Amino acid sequence: LLAVFCINTFLWPALHVGTRNFRLDLYSVPIQQTARYALYHKDEVTEEEYEILNKVFDYEQLAANYDPEIIDPVKNLLQNDEQGLTYLTILNKEYIRVWIQQGLKHPATYIQSFLNGCYGYFYPDRKEYKEGLGWYISWQIYDTSKFETNFVENRGDLRQALEKLAYDLRQLPGIGILYSCGIYTWFTLAVTLILCIMKKWKAAILSIPLLVNILVCMVSP
């Protein structure tokens, strides 16, 4: 924690390295809930709510872009002002008020939105979302005008073989289960429970960072 704090607070600014607005990730759960509300209860949105939400998002596209398992399609609809500041930051209090109002009307919709976004962390047979493992092809997401990646041309077959091996191992009984997030969640919960039953409190304390990690994943984008 200390290392990450020092890097983000002192090292990156000193090297003039730009960073993302990480505060947006704190709104991952509310944003998804707002999008699900727009999908299932659009007729109940009041004029006042619409006025605020339409400034924060491209609201007319919100329901169509809602993906239950990932926030990116909805986050891409967030709108900025002329200075580049997101309206979610500018209208923070107004948005939170609308979010609470709608949540009180349909709490089940909010609960379903949350569970859809994190259930994979509890299902050992749930495979990786979207691009899968993507170990050797993830470089394609970068903007080549800002981030240049070169490959040794005569090693293409080797790279493809390594990637195929990774995916083949994913299909093997026993080994394949170790690729899944869910198995580690249940291992962590089981170990913590056993330590508590055995009253090994000092050892159980060491599970706290692991449990916090799971909770952070559950509310992540």
Give the pLDDT confidence of 124-152 residue by residue, as tens digits: 888 776 556 655 555 555 666 776 777 78
CA distance 87 to 81: 7
Contact 180, 125 (CB under 8 A): yes
Q: If you average pLDDT over every residue of the chain, what do you get? A: 86
Torsion of CA 163, 168, 170, 171, to 10 degrees: 160
Residue of 77, 23, 32 lying closest to 55 (CA atoms): 77
Torsion 141-147-153-158 (CA) sign: negative
Give the pLDDT band (50/70/90) at residue 159: confident
Section 111-130 average pLDDT = 86
Better pLDDT: 99 or 152: 99
Contact 169, 176 (CB under 8 A): yes
pLDDT of 195 > 90? The answer is yes
- Which residues share a beta bridge with 78? 57
Better pLDDT: 174 or 49: 49
Question: pLDDT tens digits, residue range 46-62?
Answer: 999 999 999 999 999 99
- What phi-psi label fits residue 34: left (phi over 0), alpha (psi between -120 and 50 degrees) or beta? alpha
Q: pLDDT value at position 21? A: 56
Q: pLDDT value at position 87? A: 86
Classify each residue of 64-85 as buried b or exposed e, where b means 16 or more C-beta atoms within 10 Å of its C-beta.
ebbeeeebeebbebbeeeeeee
Q: pLDDT value at position 151? A: 74
Q: pLDDT value at position 203? A: 93
Q: pLDDT value at position 107? A: 97
Section 152-172 average pLDDT = 84
Section 162-176 average pLDDT = 85
Ranking 9-18, 42-51, 194-203 by mean pLDDT, the lowest is: 9-18
pLDDT of 193 > 90? The answer is yes
Give the pLDDT band (50/70/90) at residue 206: very high
How many angstroms separate the Cα of 152 from the Cα of each of 61, 146, 156, 176?
Answer: 43, 20, 7, 30
Percent of the chain past pLDDT 70, that is, above it, reads 88
